[in-house]
Structures are given as structure tokens and as C-alpha cells.
């Protein structure tokens, strides 16, 4: 690997020791420099132009993936500017290279498909997987947050007036609480009984892992995703981990929960991020629409006749 990229990797890990950013950025940089086949100082703006075209039309990357690759490259050259006195100019120009993205609505799975998925998990009789995937569907956790859950992160017997909850390690290591429904609480207790029969596990930076892989250690994100894909194949559906989180958000909104409360449960830094769910399920908007349609029908109905 290029020495400068190695130093960039270490710098990213020092800045964000609990994030996966360095893994993605270094992978993106390796792909770029393998494609460019040029030394770092020789990369030009036009090389980046050509790479964007290559990503779009040869690799078939969408706008989000292209922009992530460009962000990795731009961050790398910004790092060189901090480290070197004679750093090369940054070849990534946001207004020239970044691809405009349309706003897409979250893809929420159908309730019937979610039921089929959890039926397949229940049929397998795996208490761990039931609790693991229910934490996304019933608590709104990200897959990376499920991976980080440890034995010290849950409170099953809180004080008077408090609900059972999980302490969640979110993005940028920001912590928040996720409350446990009765269904989630039962699933978690069932897994803890099974886990108590397992050999003791080593602690890591997050503590003793709550969910154990087949080797008795902490899951990787890919490991959790592969487990879900196995159940999806068995159930004949296709649902991602993040779609389970979407389903939690829309169900809370449909039940009348305030948007600001959903934002806190999801761990969104901005309310604007949470507002996208209003386009999927907005009880007030639906009520206004139904009232308006009824009023229009009443006005258009012939005198003396009831509108159908």
C-alpha cells in the first residue's frame, strides 16, 4: 500500500477510533489509485473527471457511492495538505465533481413480509437472532449499533417509573437510550438464558459482547447482514437491516409519536433527517387530505343528492 495512504489510515483511526470510516476510505483510495496508475502528485482534476465517468458507466455506481469515493479522495489530499509542506493541490472540486442526488424515500418493508421474516426466525428456534433482529425492528437500532451492544448496556429492572432500556453506542460514539417493548424484553431475556450457558468471552473496547457469533466473539456488521439474508431466503422475502429500522420509525409515526421523540430514539443529529418519514406516513396530512376530498365531493354533488 502507498505509504501516504497508510499514514492517512492511522490518522483516521486516531481521530475516530470507534468508527468504520477508515475501512471504507482506504478501500476507496486503493480502488482509485489502482485505476489511475499514477503517483499521488500527478493526479489532476481531469483524472477525477474521468474517474467519475468510470464509476458511473463502467462500475454502475449510484450518486451516493460516487460521492463517497470522492469524499475519501478529497479527505486524503486535505490530510496531505496538513502533513506536507509541498503538498499537491487537491484534485477534487465539489462543485465540479460531486454528483447531484435526488431525495429518495426510505424503503419500508410490508408488514406481511416482516411477519414472514420473523416467522422464519422463530421456526429456526434461534433466540439470539430473534433478539438481534427485533432490536432493529422494535427499537430502531442500526446494524452497527446492534453489533456494539454489550452486557453492560441494558437495564432490565429499572427504578420505579422508568422503562427497561438499552444504552446504544451510535454514530461518532454518541450514546442514547432505546426503550424495550414487552416483546423485545421477552426476546432479550430468552437470549440471555441461552447466553448464560456459553463460555465466558473476552471483553473488548465496548465490554463483553451481548450477541455472540459462532466463535464466541463479537459479530461483524457483515456477519449480522449475512444472518438476515439467510432468513430472508428461507422466508422468500428481501429485507435489509436498515429497512427494519425504517419500519420502526414509520410505525412510531403512524401511532402518533412526535417527530422530535422519534428523532431522539433513532439518534438522528438533525430533525430534518427524521422528517423524511413524514413523506411516507403523516397522519395529519392524511387526515387533511381525506377532509378535503370529502368537502370537494360534497360541493360537486348535485343538489338534493348524496355524494357516493
Active site residues: 142, 171, 242, 245, 268, 277
The rounded distance, in Å, linking the Cα atoms of 274 and 248 is 12
Look at residues 207, 220, 213 and name the one whose alpha carbon lies nearest to residue 195.
213
Q: Beta partners for 154?
A: 166
End-to-end, the C-alpha distance of the chain in Å comes to 72
Q: Residue 304, by phi and psi: left (phi above 0), alpha (psi -120 to 50) or beta?
A: left
| C-alpha triplet 159, 162, 167: angle, nearest 5° | 95
Length of the chain: 308
Residue 52: how many other CB atoms lie within 10 Å: 20
Residue 206: how many other CB atoms lie within 10 Å: 18
Q: Which residues contact 252 (CB under 8 A, 6 or more apart)?
A: 140, 261, 262, 265
Amino acid at each position: 500500500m502507498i505509504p501516504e495512504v497508510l499514514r492517512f489510515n492511522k490518522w483516521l483511526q486516531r481521530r475516530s477510533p470507534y468508527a468504520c470510516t477508515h475501512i471504507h476510505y482506504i478501500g476507496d483510495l486503493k480502488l482509485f489509485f489502482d485505476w489511475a496508475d499514477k503517483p499521488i502528485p500527478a493526479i489532476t482534476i481531469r483524472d477525477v473527471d474521468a474517474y467519475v465517468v468510470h464509476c458511473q458507466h463502467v462500475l454502475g455506481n449510484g450518486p451516493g457511492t460516487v460521492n463517497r469515493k470522492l469524499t475519501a479522495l478529497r479527505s486524503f489530499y486535505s490530510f496531505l495538505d496538513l502533513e506536507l509542506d509541498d503538498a499537491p493541490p487537491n484534485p477534487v472540486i465539489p462543485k465540479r465533481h460531486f454528483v447531484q442526488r435526488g431525495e429518495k424515500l426510505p424503503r419500508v418493508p410490508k408488514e406481511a413480509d416482516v411477519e414472514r421474516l420473523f416467522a422464519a426466525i422463530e421456526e429456526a428456534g434461534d433466540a439470539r437472532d430473534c433478539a438481534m433482529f427485533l432490536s432493529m425492528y422494535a427499537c430502531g437500532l442500526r446494524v452497527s449499533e446492534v453489533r456494539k451492544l454489550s452486557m453492560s448496556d441494558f437495564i432490565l429492572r429499572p427504578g420505579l417509573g422508568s422503562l427497561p432500556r438499552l444504552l446504544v453506542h451510535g454514530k461518532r460514539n454518541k450514546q442514547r437510550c432505546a426503550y424495550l417493548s414487552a416483546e423485545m424484553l421477552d426476546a432479550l431475556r430468552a437470549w440471555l438464558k441461552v447466553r448464560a450457558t456459553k463460555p465466558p468471552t473476552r471483553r473488548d473496547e465496548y465490554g463483553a459482547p451481548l450477541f455472540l457469533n459462532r466463535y464466541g466473539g463479537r459479530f461483524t456488521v457483515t456477519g449480522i447482514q449475512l444472518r438476515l439474508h439467510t432468513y430472508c431466503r428461507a422466508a422468500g422475502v428481501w429485507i435489509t437491516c436498515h429497512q427494519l429500522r425504517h419500519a420502526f420509525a414509520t410505525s412510531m409515526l403512524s401511532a402518533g409519536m412526535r417527530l422530535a421523540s422519534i428523532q431522539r430514539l433513532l439518534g438522528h443529529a438533525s430533525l430534518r433527517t427524521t422528517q423524511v418519514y413524514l413523506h411516507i406516513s403523516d397522519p395529519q396530512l392524511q387526515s387533511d387530505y381525506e377532509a378535503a376530498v370529502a368537502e370537494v365531493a360534497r360541493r360537486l354533488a348535485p343538489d338534493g343528492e348524496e355524494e357516493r
